[in-house]
Amino acid sequence: MDYRKYGDTIYVRMDKGDEIIQSILDVCKQEKIMSATFSGIGGCSGAEVQTYIPQTNSFEQQTLEGMLELISLMGNVITDDEGEYYHHTHALFSFKDGEGHGMAAGHIKSITVLYTAEIEIRPVVGGEIKRKHDPETGTGFWDFR
């Protein structure tokens, strides 16, 4: 992984074997970014995709493996009052499925880079978005203080 900051935006190039979510969190920690949004594209070898099921208050997980075109990656990074980092990430993948092509999308737990990923991180400027715990779902939401 390598990255550069131009203005307020950080551009990240990830390489084979890098894990995208952890790399984004690492860059935010290194740059002391407490809240940001991000987007990206790339070629990946594996992903853990989740779908939240409200009726059971749980996530169903699907593991994707093989040549995955990361068509769209979008998400955010926020911190809680203790400085712990959290992400909320969604992605869309395209892949070869027999003679045709398949697609999968959802909430992302992890993504492994096959050959490259290009990510743009945009820190929140002029304020900060914190994380507010939601006891009903067990997850966290944006808190604008």
Q: Give the CA distances from residue 44 to residues 24, 68, 127, in Å, rounded to whole numbers and listed in that order.
A: 15, 5, 34
Q: What is the reported pLDDT for 98?
A: 86
* Spatial distance between the Cα atoms of 87 and 137, rounded to a whole number of angstroms: 16
Q: What is the reported pLDDT for 34?
A: 96
First vs last C-alpha separation in the chain: 34
The ranges assigned to domains in the chain are 2-143
Q: Within 13 Å and on the Cβ side, how many CA atoms surround 21?
A: 19
Low-confidence ranges of the chain (pLDDT < 70): none
Q: Give the CA distances from residue 130 to residues 78, 109, 124, in Å, rounded to whole numbers and listed in that order.
A: 6, 20, 11
Q: What is the reported pLDDT for 57?
A: 81
Q: Each residue of 25-43: pLDDT tens digit?
A: 999 999 999 999 999 999 9
Q: What CATH number has the domain spanning 2-143?
A: 3.30.1330.80
CB 69 within 8 A of CB 43: yes
Q: What is the reported pLDDT for 45?
A: 97
